[in-house]
Amino acid sequence: MQMTQKKIGAGQFFSILLLCRLLVNLTFNSNDSSLSSCDKIISDILTVAFIFVMSIPVFIYMKKGWDFSDCIRSISPKLNKAVCFFYSLYFIILASITVTRFQLFTTSTLVSEGNVTNVLYIALLVLSALYGAYLGFQAIGRAAFIFAIVVISAIFFLFLTSAKNFDFVNITPFFYNGTKNILQNAVKNAASTTEIAMLTMFHSRVSGNKVKGQAITILIFLILELLLSVPSCLVLGDLAPKLFFPEYVLATMASLDMLKSLDAFINACWVLAATIKTAFMIILSHFCIGNVFKIKKNLPWLVGIALVVFSISLVFSKYISTFILIIGSFNFIIASFVFSVAIPLIVLIVHALKERKNKKEGLL
C-alpha cells in the first residue's frame, strides 16, 4: 500500500469533506438555548459565509498548485517536521472527538444500558475506521461518494417527510434576541469546520478542479444545512434549542404512510458518516507522521494511531461533561482557527514573499 503516492478524484475527496461536515451538524448541537430556531437559520447561513472566508488561504494554495508541506519545507525542513507533527496530533484529537460525539449520541439518545456498550461503540467505530484507513484513502473516497449520495438523499427525505408537520406559528421573529448570539453561534460552528485543515494538508493528493470542488461543497453544505434547520424551526419551534439532537427528534417524528421510525435510517447514515470521518482522520494523521518519520510499513502506524484514538475517546467518554466544556471552549475555537486559517495563512505569506525574493534575485 502506497497511500502517499496515489491521488484521489475531486468528487470522491469532497464527498469525504461533505460527510465530515454534515456529521458535526447531525451529532452535535452547539447552539445556546437563547438562540431561537429561526435565528439558527441565519446563523447557519453566516457559518457557511465564514467557512468560505476561512477557505481563502487554501483556495490560494489550490489555485497556485502549492503543496502545504512543500511550502513549509522550503522555509525550513525542521519546521515542516514540527508542523506536521502537531497537525498529526490535531487530527488524532479530531478523530477522538468524532468518536466521542458519536458515542455520546448513541448512548444518550438511542440506548443507555450498561457501561459495556460505551466501550463497545467506541471499539466498533474505531475498528471499522481502522479497516477503512487500512484500505487507503481511495477506498474511503469511493465509499464516501456513495455514502454522500445516501446521506444527501436521507436529508432530502427527512425534509419532505417533515413538511406535513410544518407549523408557521412556530416562527419566532428574526433577531429576536439580538445579533450577538447569532454571530457567536456562527463562529463556534465555523470553528468546528475541520475540513479546511484537512484540505490544506491533503489537497496536493487530489486530482481535478479542487477550487471548484470546494466551492460546490460549500454550496451543497449550505443547501443541506437549510434543509435541516428549516424543518427544525417549523416543526420543533422553541423546543429545538433545548434539545441536544434536534435533527434526530425530527427524524423520530417523520413518517411517510406505512414508513415509520425513519430515525433508524437516519442513524444508519450517521454511522456511515462517522466511520468515514474517523477513517480519514486516521489516514491524515498517518500522512502527517509520514512527513516526520520514515515509514516502512503502514499497518503498525495505523494500528498505533487507532489505539491512541481509542484511548483518548475512552477518556473523553468517561469525563463527558468536561469533554463538552472543552470542545465548546474559547481555547478550542482558537485552536481550530490556528490549524485551519492561521498556520496556512502565515506559511502562505512567508512562502509567497520567499518566492518573490527568489524571482527578484533570479532576475538580477
State which residue, 118 or 336, has the beta carbon closest to another protein. Answer: 118
State which residue, 237 or 344, has the beta carbon closest to another protein. Answer: 237
State which residue, 70 or 238, has the beta carbon closest to another protein. Answer: 238
* Least CB distance to another protein at residue 240 (A): 9
State which residue, 164 or 212, has the beta carbon closest to another protein. Answer: 164
State which residue, 134 or 202, has the beta carbon closest to another protein. Answer: 134
State which residue, 108 or 207, has the beta carbon closest to another protein. Answer: 108
* Least CB distance to another protein at residue 188 (A): 22
Which residues lie near another protein (CB under 8 A)? Answer: 108-117, 120, 124, 127-128, 131, 134-135, 169-173, 176, 236-239, 242, 249, 252-253, 299
* Least CB distance to another protein at residue 82 (A): 33
State which residue, 117 or 184, has the beta carbon closest to another protein. Answer: 117
* Least CB distance to another protein at residue 112 (A): 6
* Least CB distance to another protein at residue 197 (A): 29
* Least CB distance to another protein at residue 303 (A): 10
* Least CB distance to another protein at residue 237 (A): 5
Task: Tell me the backbone φ, ψ of residue 156, rounded to 5 degrees.
Answer: -60, -45
